[in-house]
A and B are shown apart, each in its own frame.
Chain A
Amino acid sequence: MTVMEQRGGYRPTPPPAWQPRADPAPLLPDAEPYRVLGTEAAAQADPELLRRLYADLVRGRRYNTQATALTKQGRLAVYPSSTGQEACEVAAALVLEERDWLFPSYRDTLAVVARGVDPVEALTLLRGDWHTGYDPFEHRVAPLCTPLATQLPHAVGLAHAARLKGDDVVALAMVGDGGTSEGDFHEALNFAAVWRAPVVFLVQNNGFAISVPLAKQTAAPSLAHKAVGYGMPGRLVDGNDAVAVHEVLADAVRHARAGGGPTLVEAITYRVEAHTNADDATRYRGDDEVETWRRHDPIDLLEHALTERGLLDEEMKRAARDAAETMAADLRARMNQDAPLDPMDLFAHVYAEPTPQLREQRALLRAEIEAEQGGTQL
C-alpha cells in the first residue's frame, strides 16, 4: 500500500529543499590563464620580487643544464629536466614559509633546491642511491615521489595533521598533467576539500606525460576545472610567467593558511627537453612546437620585464650568471665524487630493528663481501 493510500489527505511534497553545497561560480577558473608579465600589471610588480625570481630562475636553468650534463657523464642515473618550467619550480618554493611543507614529484628537484636543500642531496635518488638524500624534516620537503600522484594524499594528511595540532602550516604539492588522471589525485583533492585542509595543489601542465599529449589525457576545458567537482577554487595561470605563478600560489597559500581550504592551480607550461635524458622526444612531437615555447621562455619573459622597467643592468645579470656558475661548478665537483655506499646499509632501515631474518641475511652478505675482499675463492 502506498503512503498516499494509507493517509487520506496526503499530497506528495516537493523534494526536501536541495541546496548546492557551495556556490560553483567562484570555484571556476578564469577563461584565460592569468598573466602579469607582458601585461599592464607588470609595471606594478614588486621590484624586489622580480629580481629575486630572476636570480633564482637563472640559477634554476643552470641547475637543469648541469644536471642533464651529469647524466651524460654517468654521474646521474637519470634526470627529468624542468628546463622551461623553472618559473613554477622556483615560485613554488618561494611562496612557502619555513614551517610549510613542499611535496615534490621526481621532476621537481629544482623546487627542492630552491627551497634550500643542497643540490647534491636533492639529486641523491636520481644518482641511483637507495635513499632520498636530504632529511625531509630539515627543510620540510617530503621525499621526491615517483609513483604518480601518490604524494598528493600525503600532503593532505600532513596539512590536516598540522591543522589538528593547531599549527598554521600549509602544504604545497606538485604533480604533472598526466598525474591528474590517477585515482590518487581524485582521492587527495576530495579529502582535502572535505577536511578543508590547508593544501595547495600545483599541476604543472607541461603538455605531455612522457609521449602522451594532453588531448589524450583529458577532455576537460582545463585541468583547473576539476576543482569545482571537489568544491575548491581552481586557478589557471601562465606557468612561464614567474610573477603570475608566484601571485596565484601566494594567494592560494594565504587562503589555505587562513582556513579557507585547498586550491587547485593549473600552470600552463611546457616540457622543453625530453621526458628524461633516456627519452627520445622526436618520436612524438615536432620541433616547431618546442620552438614556439622556447620563445615564451620564463627567463626571457622576466628579463624583458625587468629591462623594460630599468630594473636590470649588466652587472646584475652577470652577478646572477656568476652565482649560477658557482653553484654548477660546486655541484659538478661534488657529484664527481663517488657517493660512499655501504652494502650493510641495505639492512639498516627496513625496520627500526632488523628482523632476525634480516640479521641472517646481513651476516650472509657480510661474509660474502669479506670473502670477496679477502680474495678467497669458492
Chain B
Amino acid sequence: MATTALPSIPTADVGHGYTTTGLPHRKVAIWAFIGSECMLFASLISTYLIYKGRSVKGPFPHEPWTDPSTGHVFKPILNIPVTSCSTFVLLMSSLAMVLALAAVENRDKPKVTLGDRILGSSRLWLFMTALLGTTFLGFQAFEFTSFVHEGLSIRTNLFGSSFFTLTGFHGAHVTAGVIWLLTMLAIDFKRGLGPKDALNVDIMALYWHFVDVVWIAIFTLVYLIR
C-alpha cells in the first residue's frame, strides 16, 4: 500500500459503512452478545449440575422414586426418546437456517434446475426453520405438561426448579428466535430478501445456531449423562 498519508475521512462519511475493521457493527455486537450468553447459560447449567442429586424428595431425572408418605411410585422423569426427537428437530432447524441464509445471499444467482429453485428459496427455508423451531417448542410444551402430570413442577424440588428454569430459559430463547424468524419471513414475503439483507439474516442465523448449540450441551449434560 502507499506509504504516504492517506487522507482523513470526512466525518460526513462515517455513518455510511466505514468501520475500522471493515466489519459491520451489528455483527460485532451479536458475537459479543453470544459471548455474554455463554456466561448466562454457564450459570444455569452449573446450577443444574450442582443441584443434581441434592433434592430431598423426588421425582428424579433418571431414577424411580417412591414417595414415603403415600407409597406412590414415580417413574424416572426424563423421556429420552421424545427429547432425542426434539433434539433432532432443532439440529435440522439449523440446517434450514444455513440454507435460508445461503438462499438470501445467492438470491441473484441464476436458478436453473428445480433443485436450484428449491435450495434457493429463502421463504421455504425461513419457513422451515421457524416451523422446526416451533415443533421443538411443541415438544417442550408436551414435555413440560407431561412432567407436571407425572408430579414434577418447578416448585417440587431442586431438580424441578433447576430443570425447568434451565430448559425454560432455553425455550424462551427459541421463542424469541421464532418471532424473529417470522418477522423476517414477513419481510421476505412483503418485499423479498436479497443480498443487501444478508447481514440481517446472518445475525439472526448466528443467534439461532447459538441457541441450537446450547441445546446440544443441554441435551448431553441434562438428559443423557446420568
A, B co-complexed: no
